[in-house]
Structures are given as C-alpha cells and as structure tokens.
Amino acid sequence: MLRIIFWKLGFEWAMLLRIIRPCSDQRVYYFAFGANLSPDILRLRRIGVYETFDHVLEDTVLNFSQRGFYKNHGFASADASVGDCVYGKMYLIRQSDAKRMDYFEGVPFLKAHAKIVQQVQGKPFYFYRSQIPLNGLKPTQQYLNYLTHAYRNMDIVPSQYTEALLATKVLKTLEPQDQTGVFVRHLSRWPKILHPSLKHYEKHCHQLVEALWNRSLVGWMIRV
C-alpha cells in the first residue's frame, strides 16, 4: 500500500511541476505502440505532441504480457525478440510530459514497466517494456481497438499484421485479480494461513490503482 501512496504522491508532484515549469524547450522522443497510439488517450493524459512519425522498433515483439487490473488481463509490451519488430508512432514530447508518462505507465514505485532508451536518427528515444512479462494474458476489446484503429491508418504496417492482431483473443469478463506477484511478492514465503488474506489484499490494491490511474487533483490545469 505504501508503494501506491508514494506513486500517487509522485504522480501529483509531476503534474504540479508540469504546470509550474513546463520547460517546453526540453523535449524527447517517445515510441508509442499501445493505448497511447490513440489521440483520445493523449488528450485524456494532456500530452502535447510537437512532431510525430511512424516507426518500426526492431528486435522486439508485441505481446500482451503486462499484467493488468483483472484476472488474465494484459496490456501491450514491446518484449525483446531478435528478428521481430513492433510498429508504432514516435512522438516528440516535453521532458516534463515524459516524466508524467512514467507515472501513467507505472514506472516509479509500482515497477510495472522498465523504461528502455535507444536512438533514432542519432537522437535518444524511449519506450516501455514489462518488468515481469507473463504469458496467457488478454487485452480488452477497447484496448485492442486502440492499436488496430491506429495500425489501419499507418502505411508502414502490413495488412496481414493488423489482421493477425484483430484475431487476438480478448478478455470478455472482467473478474477481480486473483493472483499475487505485484503488491504481494513471493507468496510461498508467507504462512499458508495468510494466503487468502494476501490474495484479497492484492485484489484491492489493483482496484485502487485502477481507480487512481488517470485521475489527478491538478492535472486539469495543464494546457496542451
């Protein structure tokens, strides 16, 4: 629970700094391949984009391997895979927005994603990758739509790639998370009598983070 509190405090602090010191001249490239491909999500998060172009991220593969809020729920991750690639968009954004994006992606304190830095056109860019990729997870239909709608409008994405993505099995029932590993680690080290309570605790932690994810006390003050 302390990690959630610290994450949310840091989240609001990053929002406040963005308002007070936007530092619009300090910018960085960010590679998006998940929900951030959607203009609606960028508007929701108040992320301003100065420049955008389609990009292919080499030696990675698109997996829904980032554990989500529900049972068997997964978000997209650009996992390492030699010879494969992930299609997406490169955004030029403020450094101050990039710091906020870290909180939206659960990098500080929650340790959901790792932040990977590479170079494009001789300039650094970054993207997010699951810290603990898991197999067998499924996206929601809404989340999958963010990707497929974007890919249909990107010339660099082969039609067969989009068609294969459209065939992805989606999560049809949103059941509470019943697995530990994010907020309760190494369940086996705890006495078995505590396991039901710890699983219950993990479930409520996921529900709390979901409720707080795109909400901010001061974020509405940010002008894009």
85-143, pLDDT tens digit by residue? Answer: 999 999 999 999 999 999 999 999 999 999 999 998 889 999 999 999 999 999 999 99
CB within 8 A of 36, min separation 6: which ones? 30, 42, 45, 47, 91, 101
Nearest CA among 149, 138, 135, 124 for reference residue 73: 138
Instruction: Place 224 in a pLDDT band, splitting at 50, 70 and 90.
Output: confident
189-222 pLDDT, tens digit each:
999 999 999 999 999 999 999 999 999 999 999 9
Q: Which two tokens stand for residue 28?
A: 């960085």
Give residue for tokens 């300090």. Answer: 26
**How many domains is the chain built from?**
1
Cα separation, 214 vs 103, in Å, equals: 10
> Are the C-beta atoms of residues 91 and 197 closer than 8 Å to each other?
no
Please tell me the predicted confidence (pLDDT) of residue 143: 98
Please tell me the predicted confidence (pLDDT) of residue 129: 97
Please tell me the predicted confidence (pLDDT) of residue 1: 86
Please tell me the predicted confidence (pLDDT) of residue 26: 97
> Are the C-beta atoms of residues 7 and 103 closer than 8 Å to each other?
yes
* Residue 169 domain boundaries: 2-221
User: Measured between alpha carbons, how far is residue 19 from residues 39, 96, 108, 198, 221 in Å?
Assistant: 21, 9, 20, 39, 7
Nearest CA among 79, 32, 35, 38 for reference residue 53: 32
Cα separation, 221 vs 62, in Å, equals: 34
145-171 pLDDT, tens digit each:
999 999 999 999 999 999 999 999 999
pTM: 0.93
60-82 pLDDT, tens digit each:
999 999 999 999 999 999 999 99
Nearest CA among 110, 114, 22 for reference residue 60: 114
C-alpha 5, offset from chain centre = 19
Nearest CA among 103, 107, 67, 101 for reference residue 202: 67
Please tell me the predicted confidence (pLDDT) of residue 217: 94
Please tell me the predicted confidence (pLDDT) of residue 152: 96
CATH number, domain at 210?
A: 3.10.490.10
Cα separation, 151 vs 209, in Å, equals: 29
Please tell me the predicted confidence (pLDDT) of residue 195: 93
Q: Which two tokens stand for residue 86?
A: 């992930």
Cα separation, 62 vs 70, in Å, equals: 20
182-192 pLDDT, tens digit each:
899 899 999 99
Which DSSP symbol is given to 73?
Answer: B
